[in-house]
Structure 1
């Protein structure tokens, strides 16, 4: 299981690093990377262009068949815009929005995310992380 992510400010990168799963950071300027294993996309809330970049990755070669779902990062102060990129992608690809967290997440968010992914039946996570 892979966490595929975009991190514009470093918040998502920090969250993914603390989770302790294999990861792939997408290049915002060229997201055309092929994967051959199941993955979850972790995305910040930024702008509509970000949804387009992640869609390019998902639709590249056979990447779509490995897509499990989405995780969103955002700022709760923005109400309806909170985690909108992850919500939009979830709707577009009919895949679940597995988890949401604010900024780079708290330690409780890391624990809750690991639990959610394990209950989702997707992977074993390094318990030392």
Structure 2
């Protein structure tokens, strides 16, 4: 499963790299072309939260082009922001109607990285499956 991520301060990058999921696409603030690059496969978005709970501008630009392939979102933040902790994930969840896998603080814990891997694996396994109605 492809993990697309944006890391404002390096914490999200540390989180994603700590999952040992090799298929990654990093959004760069400086390289604006990267934000408009079309992703041809399903992906999970991991993003930091900006200011008082906002979605970073590079992530907004990326989603303008790539929201159809997003399967889920996870977000990072700092618990010092109270109700705005990792709020970018909630905004994205509501706007694009995708599951919010989790919120984590800063670069997350080892347990959170393992939980993310498990949840990402479940989403990857369910892609392309037909829904079967039970009897």
Given that residues 55 and 91 in structure 2 are in contact (C-alpha distance below 8 angstroms), is that contact kept between their aligned partners in structure 1?
no
Q: Which residue of 1 aligns with 2:48?
A: 44
Q: Which residue of 2 aligns with 1:67?
A: 70
**TM-aligned CA deviation for residue 49 of structure 1:** 5.9
Q: Which residue of 2 aligns with 1:110?
A: 113
Q: Which residue of 1 aligns with 2:100?
A: 97
Q: Which has the larger radius of gyration?
A: 2
**TM-aligned CA deviation for residue 97 of structure 1:** 0.6
Q: Which residue of 2 aligns with 1:13?
A: 13
**1:25 and 2:26 equivalent?**
yes
> How many angstroms apart in 2 are the aligned matches of 1:3 and 1:12?
11
Q: Which residue of 2 aligns with 1:122?
A: 124
The gaps in structure 1 that reach 5 residues or longer are: 124-129
Q: How does 1:82-93 map to 2 (within 5 A)?
A: 82-93=85-96
Q: Which residue of 1 aligns with 2:62?
A: 57
The alignment's TM-score, normalised by the length of structure 1, stands at 0.84
Q: Which residue of 1 aligns with 2:128?
A: none
SS in 1 for 2:8: coil
> How many angstroms apart in 2 are the aligned matches of 1:14 and 1:54?
18
What does the per-residue CA deviation read over 1:58-82, in whole Å, with 9 as the maximum and x for residues that have no partner?
A: 221xx22211011011111211110
> How many angstroms apart in 2 are the aligned matches of 1:5 and 1:115?
17
SS in 1 for 2:41: coil
When the two chains are superposed, the root-mean-square deviation of aligned CA atoms in Å is 1.5
**1:4 and 2:4 equivalent?**
yes
**TM-aligned CA deviation for residue 118 of structure 1:** 2.5
